[in-house]
């Protein structure tokens, strides 16, 4: 009996081991089946997929080159027009160049494209208005309205680059003003860590590359100019010229005084950061204080008429039913 019991126990243990082995083998075969179902087994299809991917990359690169050539040809045409007419020598060209720099366009070609656009767009808009009158069959109109449409289109084309530049500049300056206090805090940390001004500006530009690309670009350019220009005050003055903001002017004045008199950099920057944050809070409070006055017109124009209709509507209907329909 003992022998039979031992044999049955050994048989059960062997059966359990066999079941575990079969389960492991089944799991391995399942994984192999899933692998072969997910992985492409056809080498021809795999090569075709690689070729298609490479063709897409080459097509995108070709489109990028075509766009770059088209942009370069447009810039060359604008440069020839401006140079032929000597528009860049006008006394207002320097002011336009400063505005383009404030908008983030520092190349010489940007000035040529802007001046060429102000020259060409009035004629293009006038021709477009004439073509629109012909297409809409409005030739029967009097000479006065047609002339007014032509002059209005020409004036719109002339002022369109000006409006575009003002909008781009205002958006960029607003982004710079918003991110400046955070940059000053980072500059304070770098200055307290013992970094020089150019190294601190470079480090802050690297840290704010994603959160504030506009300010990062300006700080990186200033750091490069501080390294290569013989006069460091000239580099700081270039920053104030590129970014016409009162905050930037204050920062530049502080940095110039630090460079000239050797005053500590970190305390001055900390005071500036606190002042800029207070100014931002004050502006937010001013906007909140103006909100009731701004909401007065929408309240009178949209909300009060609907409220009067809801309140007085049933009474008017009752009066109409009781007195007029009798």
The one-digit pLDDT tens for each residue of the chain (326 residues) are 554 455 455 454 555 566 667 777 777 777 766 666 555 555 565 666 666 676 666 666 656 566 666 566 666 666 676 666 666 667 677 888 888 888 888 877 888 888 888 888 888 888 888 788 777 776 666 777 778 888 888 888 888 989 999 999 999 999 998 888 888 889 888 888 888 888 889 999 999 888 888 899 999 999 888 888 888 888 888 888 888 888 888 888 888 888 888 778 888 888 888 888 888 888 888 888 888 888 888 878 888 888 888 888 787 787 777 776 65
126 vs 155: CA distance, rounded Å:
9
Place of tokens 């494209």: 113
Classify burial at 65, counting beta carbons within 10 Å of its beta carbon; exposed 0-12, middle 13-18, buried 19 or more. Answer: exposed
User: Strand, helix or coil at 90?
Assistant: coil
Place of tokens 């909401």: 295
In a domain, 239, yes or no: yes
The structural domain count of the chain equals 1
In a domain, 5, yes or no: no
User: Strand, helix or coil at 254?
Assistant: helix
Residue 70: predicted pLDDT: 57
State which residues form the domain around 180. Answer: 175-285
In a domain, 305, yes or no: no
9 Cβ contact partners less than 8 Å away, ≥ 6 residues apart: none
CA distances from 177 to 25, 181, 255, 273 (A): 66, 8, 18, 12
Residue 170: predicted pLDDT: 92
Residue 55: predicted pLDDT: 64
Q: How far is CA 71 from the centre of its chain?
A: 21
Whether the CB-CB separation of 272 and 184 falls below 8 Å is answered with yes
Q: How far is CA 300 from the centre of its chain?
A: 36
In a domain, 196, yes or no: yes
In a domain, 6, yes or no: no
Residue 7: predicted pLDDT: 41
11 vs 317: CA distance, rounded Å:
97
In a domain, 24, yes or no: no
In a domain, 135, yes or no: no
In a domain, 162, yes or no: no
DSSP code per residue over 35-87: HHHHS---HHHHHHHHHHHHHHHHHHHHHHHHHHHHHHHHHHHHHHHHHHHTG
């Amino acid at each position: 009996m003992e022998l039979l019991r031992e044999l049955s126990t050994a048989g059960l243990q062997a059966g359990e081991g066999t079941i575990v082995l079969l389960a492991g083998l089944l799991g391995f075969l399942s994984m192999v089946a899933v692998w072969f179902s997910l992985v492409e087994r056809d080498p021809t299809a795999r090569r075709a997929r690689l070729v298609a991917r490479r063709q897409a990359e080459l097509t995108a690169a070709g489109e990028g080159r075509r766009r770059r050539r088209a942009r370069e040809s447009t810039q060359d045409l604008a440069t020839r027009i401006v140079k032929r007419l000597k528009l860049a020598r006008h006394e207002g060209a320097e002011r336009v160049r400063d505005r383009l720099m404030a908008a983030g366009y520092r190349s010489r070609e940007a000035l040529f494209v802007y001046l060429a656009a102000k020259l060409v767009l009035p004629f293009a808009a006038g021709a477009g208005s004439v073509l629109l009158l012909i297409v809409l069959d409005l030739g029967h109109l009097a000479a006065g309205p047609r002339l007014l449409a032509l002059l209005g289109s020409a004036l719109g084309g002339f002022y369109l680059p000006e409006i575009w530049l003002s909008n781009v500049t205002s958006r960029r300056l607003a982004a710079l003003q918003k991110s400046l206090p955070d940059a000053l805090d980072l500059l304070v940390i770098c200055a307290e860590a013992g970094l020089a001004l150019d190294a601190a500006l470079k480090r802050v530009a690297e840290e704010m590359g994603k959160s504030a690309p506009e300010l990062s670009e300006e700080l990186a350019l200033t750091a490069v100019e501080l390294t290569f220009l013989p006069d460091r005050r000239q580099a700081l003055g270039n920053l104030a010229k590129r970014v016409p903001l009162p905050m930037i002017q204050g920062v530049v004045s502080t940095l110039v005084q630090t460079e000239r008199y050797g005053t500590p950099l970190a305390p001055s920057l900390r005071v500036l950061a606190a002042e800029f944050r207070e100014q931002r809070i004050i502006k937010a409070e001013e906007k909140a204080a103006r909100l009731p006055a701004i909401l007065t017109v929408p309240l009178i124009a949209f909300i009060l008429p609907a409220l009067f209709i809801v309140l007085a509507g049933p009474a008017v209907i009752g009066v109409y039913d009781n007195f007029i329909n009798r």
